[in-house]
Amino acid sequence: MKRIYIPLPDAEARRSIIKHLFKGQKLELTSQQLGRVVSQTDGYSASDLTALCKEASMVAIRELGSDIARVRRGRLRPVRNDDFAEALKVIKPSVNTSALQTFDDFTRDFGTQ
Protein backbone atom coordinates (compact mmCIF):
# COMPACT_ATOMS: atom_id res chain seq x y z
CA MET A 1 0.00 0.00 0.00
CA LYS A 2 1.26 3.45 -0.91
CA ARG A 3 0.86 6.39 1.44
CA ILE A 4 1.35 9.87 0.13
CA TYR A 5 1.37 12.88 2.39
CA ILE A 6 -0.30 15.91 0.86
CA PRO A 7 0.54 18.97 2.94
CA LEU A 8 -1.97 21.63 3.91
CA PRO A 9 -2.45 24.41 1.37
CA ASP A 10 -0.01 27.30 1.55
CA ALA A 11 -1.13 30.94 1.46
CA GLU A 12 -1.33 31.09 -2.34
CA ALA A 13 -3.38 27.89 -2.46
CA ARG A 14 -5.71 29.10 0.31
CA ARG A 15 -6.30 32.35 -1.60
CA SER A 16 -7.09 30.37 -4.76
CA ILE A 17 -9.42 28.01 -2.90
CA ILE A 18 -11.39 30.87 -1.34
CA LYS A 19 -11.67 32.68 -4.67
CA HIS A 20 -12.77 29.46 -6.38
CA LEU A 21 -15.41 28.75 -3.73
CA PHE A 22 -16.94 32.18 -4.31
CA LYS A 23 -16.73 32.07 -8.10
CA GLY A 24 -20.01 33.42 -9.44
CA GLN A 25 -21.09 34.55 -5.97
CA LYS A 26 -21.18 37.98 -4.39
CA LEU A 27 -18.00 38.56 -2.40
CA GLU A 28 -17.16 42.02 -1.10
CA LEU A 29 -13.56 41.78 0.12
CA THR A 30 -10.67 44.07 -0.67
CA SER A 31 -7.38 42.44 -1.59
CA GLN A 32 -6.07 43.40 1.84
CA GLN A 33 -9.07 41.85 3.61
CA LEU A 34 -8.71 38.67 1.58
CA GLY A 35 -5.03 38.61 2.52
CA ARG A 36 -6.00 38.84 6.19
CA VAL A 37 -8.40 35.91 5.83
CA VAL A 38 -5.68 33.94 4.06
CA SER A 39 -3.19 34.60 6.88
CA GLN A 40 -5.78 33.78 9.55
CA THR A 41 -6.42 30.40 7.93
CA ASP A 42 -2.86 29.10 8.15
CA GLY A 43 -3.21 25.44 9.13
CA TYR A 44 -6.63 25.03 7.50
CA SER A 45 -7.23 22.19 5.06
CA ALA A 46 -9.20 22.65 1.84
CA SER A 47 -12.14 21.04 3.61
CA ASP A 48 -11.79 23.49 6.51
CA LEU A 49 -11.75 26.38 4.04
CA THR A 50 -14.90 25.06 2.40
CA ALA A 51 -16.63 24.95 5.79
CA LEU A 52 -15.38 28.46 6.57
CA CYS A 53 -16.71 29.89 3.31
CA LYS A 54 -20.08 28.17 3.80
CA GLU A 55 -20.30 29.57 7.33
CA ALA A 56 -19.39 33.08 6.15
CA SER A 57 -22.13 32.81 3.52
CA MET A 58 -24.62 31.71 6.14
CA VAL A 59 -24.07 34.89 8.19
CA ALA A 60 -25.85 36.96 5.52
CA ILE A 61 -28.63 34.42 5.28
CA ARG A 62 -29.15 34.25 9.04
CA GLU A 63 -29.49 38.04 9.19
CA LEU A 64 -32.67 37.76 7.17
CA GLY A 65 -34.42 35.66 9.79
CA SER A 66 -38.02 34.99 8.83
CA ASP A 67 -37.71 37.36 5.84
CA ILE A 68 -35.70 34.68 4.01
CA ALA A 69 -38.87 33.43 2.31
CA ARG A 70 -39.47 36.83 0.72
CA VAL A 71 -35.96 37.48 -0.64
CA ARG A 72 -35.64 36.91 -4.34
CA ARG A 73 -32.72 35.00 -5.75
CA GLY A 74 -29.77 37.26 -6.37
CA ARG A 75 -30.95 39.85 -3.82
CA LEU A 76 -28.89 38.53 -0.94
CA ARG A 77 -26.13 40.89 0.15
CA PRO A 78 -22.51 40.03 -0.66
CA VAL A 79 -20.34 38.14 1.79
CA ARG A 80 -18.16 40.67 3.61
CA ASN A 81 -15.08 40.75 5.78
CA ASP A 82 -17.09 40.78 9.01
CA ASP A 83 -18.84 37.59 7.87
CA PHE A 84 -15.45 35.87 7.70
CA ALA A 85 -14.59 37.25 11.14
CA GLU A 86 -17.73 35.62 12.54
CA ALA A 87 -17.09 32.37 10.66
CA LEU A 88 -13.52 32.19 12.00
CA LYS A 89 -14.96 32.14 15.53
CA VAL A 90 -16.84 28.95 14.66
CA ILE A 91 -14.73 27.10 12.09
CA LYS A 92 -11.31 26.01 13.36
CA PRO A 93 -8.60 23.93 11.66
CA SER A 94 -9.34 20.21 11.86
CA VAL A 95 -5.71 19.06 11.81
CA ASN A 96 -3.61 19.66 14.90
CA THR A 97 0.09 20.48 14.77
CA SER A 98 1.20 17.23 16.40
CA ALA A 99 -0.60 15.25 13.69
CA LEU A 100 1.14 17.33 11.03
CA GLN A 101 4.50 16.59 12.65
CA THR A 102 3.67 12.87 12.59
CA PHE A 103 2.89 13.08 8.87
CA ASP A 104 6.10 15.02 8.19
CA ASP A 105 8.12 12.43 10.14
CA PHE A 106 6.48 9.55 8.28
CA THR A 107 7.22 11.15 4.91
CA ARG A 108 10.80 11.87 5.91
CA ASP A 109 11.34 8.28 7.18
CA PHE A 110 9.48 6.32 4.53
CA GLY A 111 9.12 8.69 1.59
CA THR A 112 6.27 8.55 -0.89
CA GLN A 113 7.36 5.51 -2.87
Query: Domains in the chain, start-ordered, CATH in brackets?
Result: 11-96 (1.10.8.60)
Cβ-contact 105, 78 below 8 angstroms: no
Q: pLDDT tens digits, residue range 3-49?
A: 677 789 999 999 999 999 999 888 999 999 999 999 999 999 999 99
**Measured between alpha carbons, how far is 76 from 11 in angstroms, rounded to an integer?**
29
How many DSSP H helices and E strands does the chain contain?
Answer: 5, 2
> How high is the pLDDT of residue 113?
46
Whole-prediction pTM? 0.83
> How high is the pLDDT of residue 65?
82
Torsion on CA atoms 89, 97, 42, 48, rounded to nearest 10: -60
